[in-house]
Structure 1
């Protein structure tokens, strides 16, 4: 996302079956549930922590294993790829032509927050960590995928809520330290359609995280959150609550992920190819998963 906007949607009334539990209570419930499973998952958590702590050195043998499957979570993009403000995110200009010189190259003008890209802490802070200064060990992440595609079909501005995290933990165990927690909403399939960005009447509409969910994840030493949409916040957000709370805490986000539906909810490792330009607030990234 690039430019603030003013767009609000009416708060949905409680639905049948909703649990009357406050966000703070639900967060405490999730944390208590995770603690109760700690003994069961201690061995797996220790192994994951060792892999994350050893960073890229430990990642190399995993990539060399013939049995490992690599999934590209990155969209290929050009000037037609949807952007938050509608301005093309990458411009091409011939710098050297093959017909003239026997080789060729482009001069590229790239806006940082376009395509599959990273939001660094500096994006929403005056003096936070730049994309070049992200710790390398935080770029090799256990990947946890929360599927919200069912509710996104009914609500274009659906969000990951604390209860979605509770359900994931109940099914798959603790969220490992240093994880990338991403959601699959089905929005990646809409990239070639105006629906990826807008409703027919031109209002922003796409799923995101709720602040209550990311406040919970912030207590679990999660390194990053990821979305298959244009923004960490839902399209109808008017205050960028997730950006304004998650990024200043020294964590990063990844927007416009692809192919999350090709991976299991747990068990994959994400390798985040972050750009390294000094003072960068983010930038296009190549994100791969090995499972």
Structure 2
């Protein structure tokens, strides 16, 4: 999400909250002893059966909506079948473009890189929190702790190692950059995200693997402090941004396969996310 010009603001928070990031995670700490922010190493059911598959990924292209200030991606033909006998492109893009993952290293000093995320944290049960009705009238709304508790009243306790995804209905705007970024006259973005209270609860009380949103940022668009990024990613968990088709999957009972890139020292990257149930 955030381009480099925002990092100076949050770097101080990330450093000063290092003690907060130390989340007693046993085996993960043993494999990442040099890291300030450790990675969750949760358990996961060994078998998954399904009849349905949904793609939660937007098409990656040169017209993809971007967080303001991010460099534009380019896709250039490098070789062709006619001239070279095979076809291939050269892609250039900021890691946080399109449907993508934020690894802990994106905001946490000493946080793990995207290639260090455990495979067990990338195949996860999904809980979809639907705030689309509220977002339709208030673009600055957030997923609250009350939303989480209301969800659990209806669908049961969110399981450990889950991916908790916000469906705000914002994905329907993806093909209109102005509508998706939703800048006001002062250049402030307006779209939903998670509240710090909700993610603190999901981290400490539910030990989830990650969160996902159908907007440009885990934090609401008008945030200038990026508290969710700093603290949730800082606890060793991942975030997904610009998810698609969350209205096509059940609120509970689906499983996500998160195809995060395995790039050395990566802070994240474009990710193919599939849901099965």
Q: Give the one of 124, 134, 147 matched to 1:141.
A: 124
Q: Give the one of 164, 168, 179 matched to 1:195.
A: 179
Q: Secondary structure at the match of 2:112?
A: coil
* CA-CA distance at 1:141 after TM superposition: 0.5
In 1, distance between residues paired with 2:105 and 2:221? 22
Q: Give the one of 60, 63, 88 matched to 1:77.
A: 60
In 1, distance between residues paired with 2:260 and 2:86? 28
In 1, distance between residues paired with 2:70 and 2:45? 39
When the two structures are aligned, how many residues end up with a matched partner?
239
Answering whether residue 167 of structure 2 is matched by residue 184 of structure 1, we say yes
- 2:2–2:70 CA contact under 8 A, matched in 1: no
Q: Give the one of 171, 184, 192 matched to 1:207.
A: 192
Relative distance call for 1:182 and 1:78 in structure 2 (3 A) is same
Q: Larger radius of gyration, structure 1 or 2?
A: 1
Q: Give the one of 195, 218, 236 matched to 1:250.
A: 236
More helix by share: 1
In 2, distance between residues paired with 1:197 and 1:235? 8
In 2, distance between residues paired with 1:147 and 1:87? 28
Paired position in structure 2 for 1:170: 153
- 1:81–1:88 CA contact under 8 A, matched in 2: no
Instruction: Name segments (4+ residues, structure 1) moved above 3 Å.
Output: 86-89
Normalised by the length of structure 1, the TM-score is 0.78
Answering whether residue 84 of structure 2 is matched by residue 101 of structure 1, we say yes
Q: What aligned pairs does 1:233-272 form with structure 2 within 5 A after superposition? A: 233-272=219-258
Instruction: Identify unmatched segments of 5+ residues in structure 1.
Output: 6-48
Paired position in structure 2 for 1:15: none
For residues 84-114 of structure 1, give each alpha carbon's deviation from its aligned partner in whole angstroms, at most 9, with x where no partner exists: 0254542112211222112210011121101
* CA-CA distance at 1:237 after TM superposition: 0.4
* CA-CA distance at 1:53 after TM superposition: 5.0
Q: Give the one of 83, 91, 97 matched to 1:114.
A: 97
